[in-house]
Amino acid sequence: MKLNKMIFPLMLALVATVAFTGCKKGFSGKVTGLPGPRQQAPTGDGTDLTTKPFAPIDTTGPISNPVAPTGPIAYDPTKRWDPANMIQDRATVADQTVHFAFDSAAVLSKEESKLVIVSEKLKSDPSAYMLIEGHCDERGTDEYNRALGERRALALREALIRSGIEDGRVQTISFGKDKPADTGHDEAAWAKNRRGEFILCHQKTGA
């Protein structure tokens, strides 16, 4: 009795499947594709609406990161240019100076829009190069700060390269704590001094 109760729905399902398959086989009319939850709405311009299949979920490895990998980008020595041979323009991108948190080379999210502007500037002016100065506040030893300033400038360089700027167009120079923007000795001064400054560079004519 119990067995019959279970078999009945199963048989129903089987019949339904056979009926549906048979029906599809015999159907020869047009099929209208309706957008699923992940499909775009029809645009009416004949664009193929086929969606990409969902990526299979990989449970073995780490969670995949959809953004470009971060990390150091080595210099290509064949692409080096000498800033001394360039016309250096601090004014054009002066407002885009990026500021950092204490003892950190991480680009803060509130500073990212400045990088977008700098990247767009370089994209709109293919003959331009960019020199990035890395600076620190005075709270850190000399050579530690020289490394930290370089790391800050390199973090900005990496961000520009990831935004599509060719690597050879961006160079860095660290001044550590040797060139403060503000010579004060309080948090307001320190905040101003933890920075990456952009210098737009163009080849001197005839060079």
Name the site residues for other proteins (rule: CB under 8 A): 71-75, 77, 80, 82-84, 105, 138-144, 146-148, 150-151, 154, 158, 171-176, 178-179, 183, 185
Tokens 């959809």 sit at which residue? 66
Nearer to other proteins, 16 or 101 (CB): 101
Nearer to other proteins, 51 or 88 (CB): 88
Which pair of structure tokens corresponds to residue 70? 């971060």
Judge whether 102 and 139 are in contact, CB under 8 Å.
yes
Query: CA end-to-end span of the chain, whole Å?
Result: 96
Q: Which of 123, 129, 131 is nearest to 153 (CA)?
A: 131
Measured between alpha carbons, how far is 56 from 3 in angstroms, rounded to an integer?
A: 38
Compute the least distance from the CB of residue 137 to other proteins, in Å: 12
Compute the least distance from the CB of residue 78 to other proteins, in Å: 10
Measured between alpha carbons, how far is 188 from 135 in angstroms, rounded to an integer?
A: 15
Nearer to other proteins, 12 or 68 (CB): 68
Compute the least distance from the CB of residue 77 to other proteins, in Å: 7
Nearer to other proteins, 35 or 184 (CB): 184
